[in-house]
Amino acid sequence: MRILLIEDDTLLGAAVRDQITAEGHSIDWVTRLDEAEDHLRAAAYDLVLLDLMLPDGRGLPFLRELRGRGDVTPVMILTALDQISDRIEGLNAGADDYMVKPFDLSELSARLAAVARRYSGNPNPLVTIGNLEIDLAAKSVRRDGRPVKLTAREWVLFEAFVQHPGQIFSKAQLEERLYAFDTEVESNTIEVHISRLRKKLGRETIETVRGMGYRLGEG
């Protein structure tokens, strides 16, 4: 997943960033709402983590405006506001989940995965595609009952296809998902990873859509 973190607490922000990166996701971290707005207009995110008290404003009006213009990107609120009325207001504003600080980072990871699965149309972490059995929560794949070892980069790309069946991903969109690994993405990186995934999972697992990109096949 590509995640946008909007959090001005540097200690918490760094901890969340490191946790999400360790999970193999790509994350952009900003500390102001105006910066968040620029990022949302420039890139497509799978999920937004939103603090409610930022230096240049409150998170709820920002969220309401986001929903008001038709943006359905999943949003999880991270805040110290712990009253029931605060939670109700946040969820009614369009949040998909609400976590009160301080929180456990492992629970954050689990909730992120659950929200992502709901938006992919499959809340079950176990997915079967042809002869492949995929556990999105455990980040594991079995082919004909045998485990298949994927690298972190291979998993990030394959997860995108599984969570968005039928969607065509351009080369640029797939490259964005690899930026979390702090290494330069070379011009042929995506082709190399797609080739390796096909060798491990089957040639028909990922289809090439000429002139457009790649999408999930039938395995």
* pLDDT band at residue 178 under the 50/70/90 scheme: confident
At 114 the pLDDT is: 85
Task: At 45, list the tokens.
Answer: 């995110």
Question: Do 7 and 112 fall into the same domain?
Answer: yes
Question: What's the number of domains the chain is made of?
Answer: 2
Cβ–Cβ under 8 Å, residues 112 and 123: no
Range in 28-37, 119-128, 134-143 with the lowest mean pLDDT: 119-128
At 2 the pLDDT is: 85
DSSP 9-62: -HHHHHHHHHHHHHTT-EEEEESSHHHHHHHHHHS--SEEEE-SEETTEEHHHH
Domain termination site, one of 62, 97, 119: 119
Residue 182 clears pLDDT 60, i.e. is over it: no
The domain spanning residue 207 has which CATH number?
Answer: 1.10.10.10
At 194 the pLDDT is: 94
State which residues form the domain around 92: 2-119
Domain termination site, one of 119, 149, 169: 119
Q: Compute the distance between CA of residue 77 and CA of residue 46 in angstroms, rounded to an integer.
A: 15
Q: Compute the distance between CA of residue 87 and CA of residue 95 in angstroms, rounded to an integer.
A: 9
Question: Do 83 and 184 fall into the same domain?
Answer: no
Q: Compute the distance between CA of residue 182 and CA of residue 45 in angstroms, rounded to an integer.
A: 18
At 6 the pLDDT is: 97
Question: Do 106 and 26 fall into the same domain?
Answer: yes
Residue 219 clears pLDDT 90, i.e. is over it: no
Domain termination site, one of 53, 86, 119: 119
Tell me the per-residue pLDDT of 68-91, one tens digit each, with 9 for 90 and over: 888 888 999 999 999 999 999 999
Question: Do 58 and 105 fall into the same domain?
Answer: yes
* pLDDT band at residue 213 under the 50/70/90 scheme: very high
Q: What share of the chain is helix, strand, coil (3-state, %, to 5)?
A: 40, 25, 35
Q: Compute the distance between CA of residue 215 and CA of residue 162 in angstroms, rounded to an integer.
A: 9
Question: Do 111 and 146 fall into the same domain?
Answer: no
* pLDDT band at residue 185 under the 50/70/90 scheme: low
pTM: 0.66
At 43 the pLDDT is: 82
